[in-house]
Amino acid sequence: MNKIKLLDRTFEIMICAEQIDAAVAKVAAQLDRDYSSCQKPPIFVGVLCGAFVFLSDVVRKVNFVNEVTFMQVSSYQGTQSTGCVKQKLGIDFDITDRDIILVEDIVETGHSINYMIEYLQSLNPKSVEVCSLFFKPDKYLYNRDIKYVAMEIGNEFIVGYGLDYNQTGRGLKDIYVVTNE
């Protein structure tokens, strides 16, 4: 299935499932290297809704004991960021002196990730690092390092593997890009 239609847009395959799996394995190996010797299990904080598929695959590929929780923020409407970040779900337990791995589906402008890092840092963790499936360096507006990146991409609008177009397309195993049709 090279092309699909979601709502009013047509998308074509951009990255196949096998390429995604290899990139996730690479990130998991980096995380293993950096977190395998932690005294306390690191906490993966998945950003809902988009990161749930990526997070699921990452935690099954790492070889260290960990905990998983979720946050939810919103800054998108349709295919565009609104620039306004709204928190819908936060952390409801003590993360003081814990290593936090904030897992995101895609980092574009950085508004959402910056907001979440500041929120998490206010809860006194030992560390907060970002692990993102996709990173758009040309759109990124902040100086914070995105330490764990599975893939860098351009400014395309993509869906699949957890990413959506108006809540559709999250369950696609491949990544699709919007076409000009």
Residue 126 lies in a domain: yes
How distant, in Å, are the alpha carbons of 11, 14, 78, 93, 175 from that of 7?
Answer: 11, 19, 11, 39, 17
Percent of the chain with pLDDT over 90: 79
Q: Which residues contact residue 147 at a Cβ distance below 8 angstroms, ignoring those fewer than 6 apart? A: 129, 130, 131
Catalytic residue set: 108
How much is the average pLDDT of 153-164?
Answer: 94
pLDDT band at 93 (very low <50, low <70, confident <90, very high): confident
Closest of 103, 106, 110 to residue 28, by C-alpha: 103
Q: How many structural domains are present in the chain? A: 1
What are the pLDDT digits (tens) for 2-22?
899 999 999 999 999 999 999
pLDDT of residue 91: 79
Tell which residue, 73, 144, 147, 151, has the closest CA to residue 106: 151
Task: Answer whether residue 139 is part of any domain.
Answer: yes
Q: Which domain covers residue 169, as residue numbers?
A: 3-33+56-178
pLDDT at 180: 73
If you average pLDDT over every residue of the chain, what do you get?
91
pTM of the model: 0.90
The pLDDT tens digits for 43-92 are: 999 998 889 999 999 999 999 999 999 998 776 555 455 566 666 567 78
Residues with Cβ within 8 Å of 122's Cβ and at least 6 positions away in sequence, in order, are none
Band the pLDDT of 178: cuts 50, 70, 90: very high
Question: Residue 174 sits in a domain of what CATH number?
Answer: 3.40.50.2020
Residue 33 has pLDDT above 80, yes or no: yes
The reply to whether 49 falls in a domain is no
